[in-house]
Amino acid sequence: MLSSSDTNHLLEVAERAASKAYAPFSSFRVGAAILTKAGNCFMGCNVENRSYGLTLCAERNAIAAAVASEGGETLKIRAVAVVSQGRVTCTPCGACRQCIDEFAGSDTVVLFYRDGQIQERAIAQLLPDSFKLKS
Ligand code: THU
């Protein structure tokens, strides 16, 4: 389990990122914060586009920031917090689960609000039997 100070910090950073989201089409602002194994924190928010399919999710933008800073070969994600503005229920979409899993270790967890309550889930719970190139 993640410590309560890490949990609170990640939720706060994710909430701050959500306030920066560009979501004029859905009005659904999402922020994400990643804690890496190396102890760094990265944030991302959703960035929509008038060509709707080009929308970028908060989690994947946070992952991109983490990769750009730490390097994709070494990056390991300890935890990801996903928060929508107003703490409306927001679980990570399937594509983001797959992208979190790409950089996951055995103890990677995802935090999100559901019905106003913080949930902590192992990525393996959110994406069971995930695709592997080699067994
Ligand atoms: N969204 C995210 O940022 N992350 C998710 O995991 C689910 C959905 C965004 C995309 C879009 O801008 C808005 O939420 C509504 O779907």
The predicted structure's pLDDT at residue 23: 98
Residue 132 Cα to ligand 1 midpoint, Å, equals 25
Dihedrals phi, psi of 81, to nearest 5 degrees? -110, 135
Q: What is the pTM of this model?
A: 0.97
Query: What is the DSSP-derived secondary structure letter of residue 87?
Result: G
Instruction: Give the residue, by CA position, lying nearest to ligand 1 atom 6.
Output: 92
At residue 128, what is the residue type?
A: P
The predicted structure's pLDDT at residue 134: 87
9/81 Cα distance (integer angstroms): 10
Radius of gyration, alpha carbons of the chain: 14
Average pLDDT over residues 103-127: 97
Question: Smallest Cα–Cα separation from 24: which of 57, 44, 46?
Answer: 46
Pairing of β 41-45 and β 104-114: unpaired
User: Among all residues, which ones are annotated catalytic?
Assistant: 59
Q: Which atom of ligand 1 is nearest to the CA of 26?
A: 15
Instruction: Give the residue, by CA position, lying nearest to ligand 1 atom 14.
Output: 28
The predicted structure's pLDDT at residue 125: 98
pLDDT at 63 over 90: yes
Question: What percentage of the chain exceeds 70 in pLDDT?
Answer: 99
The predicted structure's pLDDT at residue 60: 98
Residue 40 Cα to ligand 1 midpoint, Å, equals 24
pLDDT at 135 over 80: no
